Structure 1
Amino acid sequence: MSATGSDPFSLAQLLGYAAFVVGITAFWQRDDRRLRYFVVALSLTYVVHFSLLGNPAAAAGAGISAVRSWLSIFTRSPWVAAAVVAANIGFGAAVVTHWQQLLPLAGSVVGTLAMFFLDGIALRVTLLFGTSLWLTNNILSGSIGGAALETVIGLTNAVTIVRMTIARRRMQTAGEPPQPGGRVSG
């Protein structure tokens, strides 16, 4: 962690707090498309935050997450997903100097697979695993807002998973077909 990161009111930490607000908003979304838009904003905030904290691997992982989340709004192409995973591996090879720096890059790969291949509850469960990787990274990086964010994202995402599961069961009981895009009513 850089000296800037140890001051809870440094620009680096303030950006972590901003990421906290954006991230909470993201994971309250039950609509997959809106979730993806907010994850783009969260990831871009994280790029600057981790750059200022002196964690280039986390900044690279967040940058790749922003691009992947944006692309996943418009395509579900396995080729695009493969290119994003390859970019993760390439950036990882270029910037990782310590095993702990693999955590955000692995979190980005997990997120890529989730964003391109999953919807609804499965999307959120997989993102929950990625959240655990980012949480560990953020604690090790000294990111106050980031650690708080990933903790609350995990809890918020878990609550949303439960809400979506309950709504799905209600719809199945009522004989309603599931809505496209992973959106559920209720």
Structure 2
Amino acid sequence: MLDSYSALAGQFFGVISLILCLLAFASKRDERLMGLLLSANVAFALQFVLFESWTAAALTVLVIVRIALARRYPGSKGVMAGVLVASGVAALLTWQGWTDFPAIVAMTVGTVGMFLFHGISMRICLGLAALSWFLSHALVGSVGGMLAEALVFVTNAITIYRLERARRRYPQAFE
């Protein structure tokens, strides 16, 4: 019975993440995107804990730290390297099998994107990370998480299109 409550709670946090992710990726402003992603990843971390996916849970907690650090130290290769090393250590300590690999790919691609890029380039990296997180959610059976990542990917693609259209229409605003 407890397992069913845990699974239900995990699904609940996946849906909360879905709502927050949609709001985040619909935003054209990087700061708003990052702030909403912080909240969404708290819910994702709780979801992974409830599904006992320890590597994904640990990496999601580090995603929260990464977002905060990327906002404070944009472009810092040293801080980025520190986040990647911490992610590697966390993955080694929590590794349960190859089903943990998509979370590691997602963390790596997202970290590089957030520290080294902005605007469209950052969102392309985050879209690739969303595809990897989708697989991670699928492997633990999180319906809410899979929907969140699928809709994040689509919303992100639409936002990339909108940003590119605005860049073509108003090139001086993107210089």
1:88 matches 2:72: no
How is 1:92-131 mapped onto 2 (pairs within 5 angstroms)? 92-131=91-130
**Deviations 1:90-144 (CA, angstroms, capped at 9, x unpaired):** 0111111211202112201111111111000000011111111000111111011
- CA distance, structure 1, for counterparts of residue 6 and residue 31 of structure 2: 36
* Greater than 3 Å deviation, 4+ residue runs: 2-7
Deviation of the 1:5 alpha carbon: 7.6
1:51 matches 2:39: no
- Report if aligned partners of 2:62, 2:83 keep a CA contact under 8 Å in 1: yes
- CA distance, structure 1, for counterparts of residue 6 and residue 151 of structure 2: 21
Work out which of the residue numbers 10, 33, 36 in structure 2 matches 1:35: 33
- CA distance, structure 1, for counterparts of residue 4 and residue 136 of structure 2: 17
Amino acid at match of 1:58: A
- Report if aligned partners of 2:77, 2:115 keep a CA contact under 8 Å in 1: yes
- CA distance, structure 2, for counterparts of residue 126 and residue 111 of structure 1: 6
User: Would you tell me which structure has more helix in proportion to its own residues?
Assistant: 2
Change (3 A) 1:5 1:105: farther
**Deviations 1:136-172 (CA, angstroms, capped at 9, x unpaired):** 1111110111000000000000000000000000013
What secondary structure does 1:54 align onto?
coil
Amino acid at match of 1:111: G
- CA distance, structure 2, for counterparts of residue 52 and residue 139 of structure 1: 15
Partner of 1:182: none
- Report if aligned partners of 1:104, 1:137 keep a CA contact under 8 Å in 2: yes
Give the unaligned 5+ runs of structure 2: none
- Report if aligned partners of 1:27, 1:156 keep a CA contact under 8 Å in 2: yes
- Report if aligned partners of 1:4, 1:12 keep a CA contact under 8 Å in 2: no
Work out which of the residue numbers 170, 174, 178 in structure 1 matches 2:174: 178
Identity %: 28
Q: RMSD of the TM alignment (CA)?
A: 1.6
- Report if aligned partners of 1:26, 1:35 keep a CA contact under 8 Å in 2: yes
Q: Give the TM-score of the pair, scaled to structure 1.
A: 0.88
How many residues end up aligned between the 2 structures? Answer: 173
- Report if aligned partners of 2:100, 2:136 keep a CA contact under 8 Å in 1: yes
- CA distance, structure 1, for counterparts of residue 95 and residue 51 of structure 2: 15
1:25 matches 2:46: no
Amino acid at match of 1:132: L
